[in-house]
Structure 1
């Protein structure tokens, strides 16, 4: 980094004498250096106390002047000091361009002072300085480079530590910890309001396609956190904004499945929101690809939140179906699922199933007989709907192949709920 140039013993002696004379003027040079820096940018004066900057500038300039006349193979103390200075300035928050400017400015000041000391009076010494110009500026460049590299390395490390600290704060909030001041520290670090509408999104990690994170927009801001089995997003909403914008932002950007929590009132409630988003995710069947909202899946959420009761519900309602042949059972449950999706319309369900509406009626009647329940009674309908959700979420429900259209003679029997 900036090897010293070749020079004769006589040249070295004259250069050393010039540098020694310059060191006697060091306080004067430092004063001028500090004046020029503050004139260039007031940030120099705001970064740290003037006395401390003055002492550090004095050390840097003294070591730099001594380096100019030091033996060729002596240790590069100037580079060691530049690295230390780069680390300090990164920790103090001085912009990198101002650090580099300070080294360049000091280099010009020292060089001009060397020339002024001999100009017009000692032509021989002036010639020595001119032959040493390349070496002097190579040394200044090497110092600036060493300071820059140390600055950037320190800045990267500080950013990593800051990221880890913020991630730890975010994790603590998502876990529902209630340490004093936790929400306030997280709000300051993440640049988010401590109070305000938030939602949490939980995406299952076993996605089949890469997740394209939603862009900022519609008054939304996303902060994402990777976990071992899922990806969690904290969503800051604009005042009065609901979840429709969140769903739109996620639509088409991930293959799912995922869950969206209800809106909560601040960072301190992210733990509860995360648990509710996970509950929404659990309402998605194993092969689902949608990102769903808990407020639109409440009945199913009640089922999955009580797995033991859900199992008993399936056994009680669908017990007779479970002994049927798998294909036969799948046809009946697929028909019930289509009929419920079509809001009790046998005609629309038949269109989804590629069969005649009378076929739908016959299958539903058989389902009522096997379950000893009537789809016309609200309580029975609720039980069968929840049992179907529990059965589907257990991974046992696989729709059967579409059935060919069927034509039956005569009048179709009246369905339990016909539209």
Structure 2
């Protein structure tokens, strides 16, 4: 229940609401110059003050319950006008102070309420203002969320258009670059990351992670891949990008060669996908196209390389599972160590002679010499093709002695 004296005070103020609204708007305008509030037109600000004052005073008179819908609409409006929320909150604080001064002045000049009632009026007024402010903030956040969603959808559509290599005129390409927050000219690179499952990001929050390192990027999630266009503003940017990818990747990731024109994004995507397939199946390998030519060559024509692998490594693949994996791991380590049996032995925790013995067995079974360049090239390509192909579950075999 509203006290009769407070109701009388509020009613008296309600009769002067137009003048009070103009005075409040002027006070807000004068006190908010450092908070970018000048973007709000004067008549609009005065109208917002009139609405808030009217709602608050009617609630104090007991004539009507507090209407917060208007505050919600005004909050949305300020967000659309790009007024920072701290600036809006500053304006509301100035407005509340002005309102309280008007209440005190009216009570003092007309002796409508005593000091005890004025305290009660203050308590009621702050409750009302809290309700108005909360509604405004809620509307502001709703508008920001909707704008971010729309921006994300627009960005996603533009990324998709570039990745698909759709025909775009110069103006459209400039607009796409501006919307994505990247310059018109590169260098750029495309990242293709295998998703763990449909609808799940392969690289969660990757745009934010790269942004912290000063790297601009735009991303698109497809059912099987997460794709990104990354602006490499400095030579170090590629190293920073690879560091983030290696730290956060859950499955295979491919990185295209760099390119300078956004028109080349479609071709770069093709190279990124080939590089991704160049990594070992079901691994977290990050494969850079230009740095992994054997791997991308093997991944570039999967059907052809499957036949090459079967022809070259068929005798190894026919071994029991454990023995086959032992041979392939040894060959893989030997290639990774630049053909050094000693270094391969260290990585496998065996004696160098054990590595040499296994390599001789591989050469005997495949008919490819590990000293002949052609034989080495064929073994290398076949091995990459085998590693890149997911294997179906196999029954356990007898351990190799």
Per the TM superposition, whether the score is higher than 0.5 is yes
Is residue 47–residue 92 contact of structure 1 (8 Å, CA) maintained in 2? yes
3-state DSSP of counterpart to 2:257: coil
Alignment of 1:166 with 2:155, yes or no, is yes
3-state DSSP of counterpart to 2:158: helix
CA RMSD of the aligned region, Å?
Answer: 4.1
Deviation at 1:365, TM superposition (A): 5.5
User: Which residue among 18, 25, 33 is the counterpart of 2:12?
Assistant: 18
Tell me the distance in 2 between the aligned counterparts of 1:62 and 1:225: 48
Deviation at 1:315, TM superposition (A): 3.6
Alignment-derived partner of residue 147 in structure 1 = 136
Identify which range, 54-63 or 292-301, moves more after superposition. Answer: 54-63
Deviation at 1:40, TM superposition (A): 0.9
Identify which range, 44-53 or 341-350, moves more after superposition. Answer: 341-350
User: Which residue among 188, 194, 217 is the counterpart of 1:204?
Assistant: 194
Deviation at 1:401, TM superposition (A): 11
How do residues 265-276 of structure 1 correspond to structure 2 at under 5 angstroms? 265-276=260-271
Tell me the distance in 1 between the aligned counterparts of 2:128 and 2:212: 50
Is residue 104–residue 144 contact of structure 1 (8 Å, CA) maintained in 2? no
TM-score when scaled to structure 1? Answer: 0.73
Alignment-derived partner of residue 183 in structure 2 = 193
TM-score when scaled to structure 2? Answer: 0.76
Deviation at 1:390, TM superposition (A): 1.9
Is residue 103–residue 143 contact of structure 1 (8 Å, CA) maintained in 2? no
3-state DSSP of counterpart to 1:286: coil
User: Which residue among 5, 13, 25 is the counterpart of 1:34?
Assistant: 25
Please give the per-residue CA displacement for 1:121-145, whole angstroms capped at 9, x wherever unaligned.
x43x243973644334433333223
Alignment-derived partner of residue 46 in structure 1 = 38
Is residue 32–residue 91 contact of structure 2 (8 Å, CA) maintained in 1? no
Count residues with an aligned counterpart: 387
Alignment-derived partner of residue 407 in structure 1 = none
Is residue 355–residue 403 contact of structure 1 (8 Å, CA) maintained in 2? no
Tell me the distance in 2 between the aligned counterparts of 1:339 and 1:166: 45
Is residue 246–residue 284 contact of structure 2 (8 Å, CA) maintained in 1? no
3-state DSSP of counterpart to 1:192: coil
Is residue 219–residue 237 contact of structure 1 (8 Å, CA) maintained in 2? no
3-state DSSP of counterpart to 2:280: coil
Please give the per-residue CA displacement for 1:91-122, whole angstroms capped at 9, x wherever unaligned.
222233333444444444444445545645x4
Alignment-derived partner of residue 96 in structure 1 = 85
Deviation at 1:260, TM superposition (A): 2.1
Q: 1:342 to 1:110 in 2, by over 3 A?
A: closer
Q: 1:267 to 1:328 in 2, by over 3 A?
A: same
Tell me the distance in 2 between the aligned counterparts of 1:133 and 1:329: 84
Is residue 82–residue 147 contact of structure 1 (8 Å, CA) maintained in 2? yes
Deviation at 1:21, TM superposition (A): 4.4
Alignment-derived partner of residue 298 in structure 2 = 303
Q: 1:7 to 1:258 in 2, by over 3 A?
A: same
Q: 1:218 to 1:255 in 2, by over 3 A?
A: same
Deviation at 1:286, TM superposition (A): 2.0
Q: 1:185 to 1:29 in 2, by over 3 A?
A: same
3-state DSSP of counterpart to 1:199: strand
3-state DSSP of counterpart to 2:384: helix
Identify which range, 240-249 or 258-267, moves more after superposition. Answer: 240-249
Which consecutive residues of structure 1, in runs of 5 or more, have no partner in the other structure?
A: 405-419
